[in-house]
A and B are shown apart, each in its own frame.
Chain A
Amino acid sequence: MFKINKVFKKPHYLIIQQNTSQEGQAEKNQEVQPALPAIPNGLWLKCQNCGETIYNKDFRQNHEVCQNCGYHYRMNARERIDLIMDTGTFKEINPELKSVNPLGFEGYDLKLAESREKTELTEAIVTGYGKIHGHNSVIAVMDSRFMMGSMGSVVGEKITRAFEYATSKGLPIIIFTASGGARMQEGMFSLMQMAKTSAAVAKHNQAGGLYISVLTDPTTGGVTASFAMLGDIILAEPRALIGFAGKRVGEQTIRQKLPDGFQKAEFLLEHGFIDKIVSRDNLKLTLSRLLRLHIWP
C-alpha cells in the first residue's frame, strides 16, 4: 500500500472521477458516488471514498478496489469478464443485437451512438459462455457506462437468449447486474422486458437450471424488480447500491432522513434479501465453488 501524501508538493494524482454524463431513470436512482477514473493513464489516483492516494497500477491489479479502504469501484463489462472467466475461454453470443428507436424518441439514436462509441459495446450488456476455474457457465455482464446500464429491448432480449442458451445446453447462468433501471426512451417496451426476463428465469428454473445473480454497484429500478432478485443464489459486492426506488426519491416522498447505509448491499443482507456479500478478490473462487456444488457426481 502506498502512502505518498507528503512526497509531492503539488498533487500529481488524478481524482477518481464521477461519471456525470449519464441520464435516464438511473439519475433518479442514484446518489452521487465514486465511479471509474475517466483517464486511466495517471500514475496516481486519489480514492474518493477514503481520500487516500493510491498507485494506479496497484489499483488496476487489485481489480479496481481501493487497497486502503476496500471500496469497490465500478468495473466495465470487459474487465469483469477478464476477472471471472478463465483466460481465452469466453465466447460472446448475440453481440450483433442493436437497439432501435421504437417510439421515435428524439435524441435517443444519438445517445445510443455516443454510448457505443464511448464503451465500444453495442449495448449495455455482454452475454456469452466460457469457463470459471474449469467449470462451464453462461454469463451476462451489464455495463453501467452504457446509458447507465438501463434495460431496453436489447438488454431484455440478450438476457432472455442467454437464459434460453443455458437452459438448452443444461448450463448454469451467472448474471452481473449494474443498472439504473428502465430504458425510458423505449417506454412500455422497456417495462415489459421485466416480465420477459422474469419469464426466462422461470423457464430455466423449470428445467432445473442454476441461476446465480451477482449484484454490483448500482442495481436499481426495473432490474432489481425483475431478474436481479430472482437468482437461486444472490451475491453482491460490498457496499453496492441496490434498491427499487432511488434514495433521493424515497427521501422526497416520505420526507424523512433515511438511515445510513440504506440500500447498500449490507442493508439487503441484514434484511434477508441477498445470500452473501463477496469481495471482488474472492468472487471468482466463490462462483467456481458454487458451480462445483451443483454438478452431479
Chain B
Amino acid sequence: MLEREKDINELRNKIEDLRKFAEEKKADFSAEIDVLEARLEKMKAETIVNLSPMDKLTLSRMVERPTSLDYIDKVFDGFIELHGDRKFGDDPSIVGGIARLRDMAVTVIGQQKGRNTKENVKRNFGMPNPEGFRKALRLMKQAEKFQRPVICFIDTPGADPGAGAEERGQGEAIARNLMEMVNLRTPVISIVIGEGGSGGALAISVADEIWMLEHSIYAILSPEGFASILWKDSTRAKEAAHKMKITAQDLLGLGLIDKILPEPPGGAHTNLETMATVIKEELMRVPFKTMLNDRDGLLDQRYAKYRKIGAYLE
C-alpha cells in the first residue's frame, strides 16, 4: 500500500474515533471533525493527482492491484481458459483463452500475478518462463486462424531469469514472439494494467495499439536494477524511476504508447468495476471488423509503427 494511503486510513480512523468519542461524551466536536474531513478529502485528491513515478511504481506493484484474471472476468463474457504450449508445459504466470467482447469472439492473453503470497508462488510472481511465451504465441496463431482479435494484458516484473528459463531458451521464446506478433494477421491490442517489466512485457505487447492504465508503468528494467547497475546503488530507485521515464504520461509524451486509460479516483484497486468498464468501453470503440477486412493494411501500419521508433541524428 502507498504511504499516502496509510496516512489516509489513519486519518479516517481518527475521524471515526473522534465521532464515537463525541457521541459517548455528548460533546460537540463538529468543527474539529469538519477540519479533519476537509483534510481527508484534500489528501484523497492529492493521492491521485500528485503521484510521483515512484508512487506509480509502488501502486502498479501493489498486491491489491487488479490482475489480468480480474479484468478478464469483468470485461469479457464466457472466458474459457486454454492451457499449455504443446512443447514443454503450462506456465501459470501467463493465462489465455477465448471469450466474447459483447458479440465478438476474442482471444485474451494476460500475465498473471498472484493475489496473495500463496498464489504468487504458484504464478511465479508473474514472471513468465519460455513456455508461457510459447503458450501465448500458440493462442495468438490460433486467433489468427479464426480471425479473432487478440487482447493482451501486460503485468510482469519481467521474464524469469532463472537457470531453467535459460535452458529452455528464454531469449529465443521472446524473440520469436516479437517476430511473429509483428506479422500476426489479426488485430492486437495490448494494455499495460500494472507493471510492464522489460523484455518479458514486450514479448506479449507488440500490437496495433498499446494502452496503459493511468498509474501503470512500462520500463526497460526495474528502477532498482537500473540504479544498482548504472549507479551501483539500488537505494536510488526513486531517482531512477523519475529519470527512466516509465509512467504512462511520460511514454505517451514520447510517442511510445497510444492511449492512457483513466483510473478511478484512488487507483484501479479502489474500484475494479469502474476500471473494467473503462477498458471495456475503449475496446468496444476499436474498429476490429474494419481492421480484419484489410489485414495487409493492418500489417503495414503495424510495421510502420515500430519502424519509426528511435531517436538519432543523421
Contact = CB atoms under 8 A, between A and B. Distances in A.
B312 A97 contact: yes
28 contacts: A24-B230, A102-B254, A154-B310, A156-B309, A157-B312, A160-B307, A184-B220, A184-B226, A184-B229, A187-B220, A187-B244, A188-B245, A189-B254, A189-B256, A194-B199, A194-B202, A201-B179, A202-B183, A225-B199, A226-B178, A229-B176, A244-B165, A249-B161, A250-B166, A253-B161, A254-B163, A256-B163, A258-B163
Interface in A172-192: 182, 184-192
A202 B179 contact: yes
Which 7 pairs across A and B sit closest by C-beta, in order of nearness? A245-B161, A224-B171, A153-B310, A198-B178, A102-B311, A225-B174, A244-B171
Contact of A182 (B176, B220, B306, B310): B220
A52 to B, nearest CB: 31
Contacts of B313: 97-100
B78 interface: no
Interface of B: 159, 161-163, 165-172, 174-176, 178-180, 182-183, 198-199, 202-203, 206, 218-221, 225-226, 229-230, 243-246, 251, 254, 256, 303, 306-307, 309-314
A192 B169 CA distance: 21
Interface string A19-32: 00001110110000
Given A195-B306, A203-B303, A271-B169, A244 B159 contact: yes
Contact of A244 (B174, B244, B256): B174
A23 B182 contact: no
Nearest to A256: B163
Interface of A: 23-25, 27-28, 96-100, 102-103, 105-106, 153-154, 156-157, 160, 182, 184-196, 198-203, 205-206, 221-222, 224-230, 242-246, 249-250, 253-254, 256, 258-259, 262-263, 271-273
A202 B226 contact: no
Given A25-B221, A244-B161, A191 B307 contact: no
Contacts of A242: 171
B306 to A, nearest CB: 5
A196 B305 CA distance: 9
Contacts of A100: 311-313
Given A195-B202, A230-B179, A182 B161 contact: no
> Chain A's interface: helix, strand, loop or mixed, by majority?
helix
A258 B162 CA distance: 9
A195 B220 CA distance: 13
A96 to B, nearest CB: 6
A253 to B, nearest CB: 5
A154 B251 CA distance: 19
A263 B245 CA distance: 32
Contacts of B314: 96-98
A114 B303 CA distance: 34
A24 B229 contact: yes
Given A97-B314, A195-B178, A195-B182, A189 B309 contact: yes
A221 B229 CA distance: 14
Given A184-B226, A188-B219, A202-B183, A193 B175 contact: no
A230 B177 CA distance: 10
Counting chain A CB atoms within 10 Å of each CB, the highest count among B254, B256, B309 belongs to B309
Contacts of B180: 202
A227 B179 CA distance: 9
Contacts of A225: 159, 170-171, 174-175, 178, 199, 203
B209 to A, nearest CB: 14
Contact of B182 (A96, A187, A199, A272): A199
Contacts of B225: 28
B230 A184 contact: yes
Contacts of B206: 195
Contacts of A195: 178, 182, 202, 206, 306, 309
Given A194-B199, A201-B179, A228-B175, A250 B162 contact: yes
Counting chain A CB atoms within 10 Å of each CB, the highest count among B175, B245, B254, B313 belongs to B175
A203 B174 CA distance: 18
B303 A187 contact: no
B229 A23 contact: yes
Contacts of A249: 161
Nearest to B127: A253
A191 B220 contact: yes
Contacts of A226: 174-175, 178
